[in-house]
Structure formats: C-alpha cells, structure tokens
Amino acid sequence: MYNGTKVLDVHSHIRWHRAAPTFMNSLMSSMTAMPSPIAGGKSSTTPGYTDEEFAGAAERHAKYLDERNIDIQILGPHPVEVNGWMEPHIFLSWTRYVNDAIFKICQARPDRWVGACQLPQYAHMPDTSNCIEELERCVKEYGFVATYVTPDVSGRRDTPGMHEPYWYPLYEKCQELDIPIIVHGTDGLDPRYRVMNQNYQLAFATEQFLTTQFLRWGDQFQRFPELKVMVCHMGGGLDRFIKESNLLNPSNDTTKNLFFDSCAYDVDYLTAAIKQRGVNQVCFGVEAPGSGGTVRPETGKTSDDMVPIISGLDFLSEQDKLDIFHNNPARVFPGLAKAAGSNAHESRVLANASAS
C-alpha cells in the first residue's frame, strides 16, 4: 500500500512453471495442435501441471509483491514467450495454454491478480477477427480484465501498424466488452539486433515507440471513442519536440484513450517521461518480477521496487502520487478497480485532506 491506499500494478507477466517448456516442445516437435492439459481451469495430476505447483508459484510471486508494497497486479503473458513466429495451427494451441496458465495463477490468489490474455495474432491474416473467440473465452469464462497485443507478432516487422484497419475487429470487440488493450513488444528477429545481449529489449522499445506515434496520428480513436490502449514502458521512448509541435500532431487529442505505464527504472528517464506524458496518462506498472532485478547501489533494493522511488519524486503532489498508484489504473482498467474494491473518490478525498 501507499499511505493506506492500495497500489494497483498494471504490468506483470506470468512466471513460467516447469511444465510450460514441455508443452511448447511437444507442440514444436510434433507440429501438431494439442489441447491444453489445464483447459477450463481443470486440475491435472501430471507433474508440472498440478494445482499445488501453480499455487506454489503464486505464493512465491505474491511474496515478491509484498516486499515491494504492491497489492494487486494485472497478470498477462510473458513477452519473450509469446512465440508469435510459430506456425498458426500450433500457435493457437500455445496461446490457449498460456491463458489457461494465467487463469490458474489468478485462481490460486484472486486477491492478488486479475488476468490479461494473449491473443492468436497472425501478421498475414486480413484482420484480427480470428482473435475474437479467444478474447471472449478469456473475458467471459475466466473474468480477464484486459488483453495484451504485440505490435510485431512475428518479430519480422510485417504486422500492420496499430492505426490500420487490420486492427478494427479487435478494437470494436474490446470497446464493446470495455476491455483495455495493453501493448507490449515481443521477439525481434531483425538480424541487426544480434550484437546486443537480450536484444528483445530493443524490439520492445522500437515497436512500442512506433505504436505510440501511429496511435497519435491515426483516426482509430475517432472510430472507437471508448477504446483504451496502454503502451508499456512509457511508450518505448520519449519525444524530442515540444508538445505543440506539428510533428506530434497536437490537434489529435488522445488523452481519453492512450495511456502509459511507469515501467522505467532509471529515475531521470522516469521523471522526464511522467512530465512529458502527463500524470493523468500514467498508470503504475513495474513488471515485478521481471527485468528490474538489478540492485540500485543507492538503495540496496532492486530497481523494480518503485513505490518508494515514485513517492520520493518531489515534483509530484500527493494527489499525483495517488493517481499514479491507484486512481489512474482503476480508471483505465475497470476490472482491476472492481477486484480491488476501488473507490477513486475516497483516494482523492484522502489526498485533499492530507494537503490541508
């Protein structure tokens, strides 16, 4: 918590249990679609798939959250295990298994997680209408509150930009269901990236930055005015122009539709990003646990321990901090707010009382 208010984290990924590689290898080696062994949340006695093992994984993850003052997270697919380069007929099997596994973790600790699904995106389909069935399954059967998408599912930069009609069927359904979209990069198979260790991070940054620009310039929010999209890692990169520049399309107001998470561990970068994006567009999200395991020399704590970092930013008011930690995530993700028993008005009153 932060000053008695629940901290809502919008960015987290499932931590893989030992059965996941076994299932993926079975799909890859046989090139045969297979049913998920845990479909529908059913129990399994097969080692690696048991309820006890999922519960153990949930408890270890929950302990990590406790140590970082995080109350509830949106739990989604792991970006480096999306594997969108798979053959389409086995990629659907993998996607359904990922979502079943997310549900098992949420089932084990519904007080700590709500789910966000992976979708069976294919770059060369005419559009995203094939994703609707899996989205509806996850929302209606599992109670998931958001969906992840990748701007470059194959890793080869052949997926249409997120402003293009390819995405419209998914946008229409997400607007209908009031399901926000979380944009996160995945694998990057550009051969130029090979010089860099863990080069998927470069794919995250480039694809998320491109998506931010496309959504600023596209007319998708005029077509789908209730659609909400959150781009991870503060949008992948920052702008070098002032906000009034016509290079940023200031006439296109996306403040009701386009949001960003706070998953930027360098404090100088985070400070600049919050100031540039605006407090109202920022939701707390730190991918704990994930790539923020490096220890800060000045604190002796891991870099994803971000509640004390953000609470220590002196340019933010108390209300700003409550908005980032709680009110903005609750506003952007209604299902997360419901799970948290959130009342943003109470948080705002608390901040006003503290200020007075």
- For the stretch 71-122, pLDDT in tens is 999 999 998 888 888 888 899 999 999 999 999 999 999 999 999 999 999 9
The contacts of residue 220 (CB under 8 Å, 6+ apart) are 162, 163, 167, 168, 171, 227
Alpha carbon distance 243, 276 (integer Å): 8
Separation CA 339–CA 203 (nearest Å): 32
Angle, nearest 10°, between helix axes 88-108 and 132-142? 20
For the chain, domain boundaries: 8-355
Least confident of 78-87, 148-157, 273-282, 314-323: 78-87
Torsion of CA 103, 106, 108, 110, to 10 degrees: -140
- So what's the pLDDT on residue 331? 98
d(CA 48, CA 306): 32
In this predicted structure, the answer to whether residue 356 has a pLDDT above a threshold of 60 is no
Q: Determine the pLDDT at residue 190.
A: 87
Determine the average pLDDT of the residues in 53-57: 91
User: Residue 129: is its pLDDT beyond 90?
Assistant: yes
Q: Please report which confidence band the pLDDT of residue 343 belongs to, taking 50, 70 and 90 as the band edges.
A: low
| Angle, helices 88-108/19-30, rounded to nearest 10 degrees | 170
Q: How many CB atoms lie within 10 A of CB 268?
A: 8
| Mean residue pLDDT across the chain | 92
For residue 219, give the DSSP letter: S
Give the closest residue to 167 by CA, choosing from 202, 141, 128. 128
* Two structure tokens written together for 178: 């009031």
The per-residue pLDDT for range 247-294, each reduced to its tens digit, is 888 899 999 999 999 999 999 999 999 999 999 999 999 999 999 999
> Does the pLDDT value for residue 346 go beyond 50?
no
pTM of the full structure: 0.94
pLDDT band at 349 (very low <50, low <70, confident <90, very high): very low
Given this model, what pLDDT does residue 243 score? 87
- Rounded CA separation 193/312 (Å): 36
In this predicted structure, the answer to whether residue 355 has a pLDDT above a threshold of 50 is: no
Class of the 8-355 domain? alpha beta
